[in-house]
Amino acid sequence: MRTAYIVIALRTPATKAYKGKLRQVRPDDLAAAAIKGVIDATGIDPAELDDIIIGCAFPEAEQGMNVARIAAFKAGVPYQVPCQTVNRFCSSGLQTIATAAERIMAGFADCIVAGGTESMSLIPMGGNKFSANPGLVHAWPETYASMGITAELMVEKYGVSREDQDAFAAASHQKAAQAIREGRFADEIVPVKAQICGLDGLKMKCSVEQVSVDDGVRADTTVAALAKLKPAFKANGSVTAGNSSQMTDGAAAALVVSEDFLKRTGLQPMARFVCFAVKGVPPEIMGTGPIEAIPAALKLAGLSLDQVSLFELNEAFAVQSLVCIDELKLDPERVNVNGGAIAMGHPLGCTGTKLTATLLHELRRRKERYGCVSMCIGGGMGAAGIFEMV
């Protein structure tokens, strides 16, 4: 079997849905910016691409019509290059990398752009027309449990306190704020030109701004401030807007290639794709997904837990992250060292590629070898991918 390599992984800034500077940027344009960023950074001829695979959790409206194909055209990729859109909810962006790598490892492709995009400003959670299957609702209503309720059910099952959740959330903001101050995300971000329009009195006023920084991070967040927030999903619950991931807009892309392609072009890879695993869990406690997926990925990789230097564990909710860290016996000092989705947001179908970009750049900065990206998935699943720095 051949080896698949990641040459580069880049992302747009992640900005707050409805309020952030990318709120009026279409998701196909965000994806195009990420794709073009990868092409420009590597200098590859886009005509050499065998495929473009983009993840999206709610592929409809502005991110419908095979959003990968539209984004590719917007990025200047010739029509001869095929494209596909993938949906595995929160792990869509990691799934695209795995799919690209598996095709390369099997010998069916040599050069693929994989990524993800999501505008939570333009496409609401659940899509524009949610329509549950009546038979499944009757037989197994938990399959449609809202994400917030699944988090509250984890609070009950694992006995996680409100104080611990808020402390975890505050730490996420503090770590992310420090990372931004120190410029740790600069090399992984592709700036995006955003046109922002709004009413100025009775007139429409528009301005164009180049966005290059994540805007959801609140450096002044404290446990005391978070403790004042009311429960967001359940009366007398403990899951709040402050200890949950932010709704966010963003896109990301990675170039996945074969060793033959590297030799032919002279490109230097960042990392080797090691393996990917996805597992199912009860949908009403979907947050436990990484507890099953990470050990499965480690087994495929032939690695022990202590050989993995860094984990990017998507912070869907503070309780979900705390339970996964505790159940897997992860070292908190190796998890989300630059903050996570509570501070920087969770742009659904983009997140897996976004976290991969952050992981690989941080592994390179620290001169570490192995890293893992993992997340829970709506509907009751978990995914994990392992990468080795080259």
Spatial contact of 272 and 7, defined as CB atoms under 8 Å apart: no
Quote the CA–CA distance of 390 and 388 in Å, as a whole number: 6
Structure token digits, residue 25: 């940027």
Spatial contact of 291 and 382, defined as CB atoms under 8 Å apart: yes
Q: If you ran DSSP here, which 8-state letter would residue 260 be given?
A: H
- Give the bridge partners for 275, in sequence order: 386
Spatial contact of 271 and 5, defined as CB atoms under 8 Å apart: yes
Catalytic, 90? Answer yes
Quote the CA–CA distance of 305 and 370 in Å, as a whole number: 10
Structure token digits, residue 248: 């966010």
Catalytic, 376? Answer yes
Location of structure tokens 């620290």: 366
Write down the catalytic residue from 90, 324, 350, 372: 90
Backbone angles phi, psi at 8, to 5 degrees: -160, 150
Provide the residue count of the chain. Answer: 390
Q: Where are the beta strands (DSSP E) in the chain?
A: 4-11, 15-16, 51-55, 83-86, 111-119, 192-200, 203-211, 248-258, 271-280, 310-313, 370-377, 381-389
Location of structure tokens 């992860």: 330
Backbone angles phi, psi at 296, to 5 degrees: -65, -40
Write down the catalytic residue from 83, 350, 372, 376: 376
Catalytic, 111? Answer no
Write down the catalytic residue from 346, 350, 361, 372: 346
* Residues noted as catalytic: 90, 346, 376
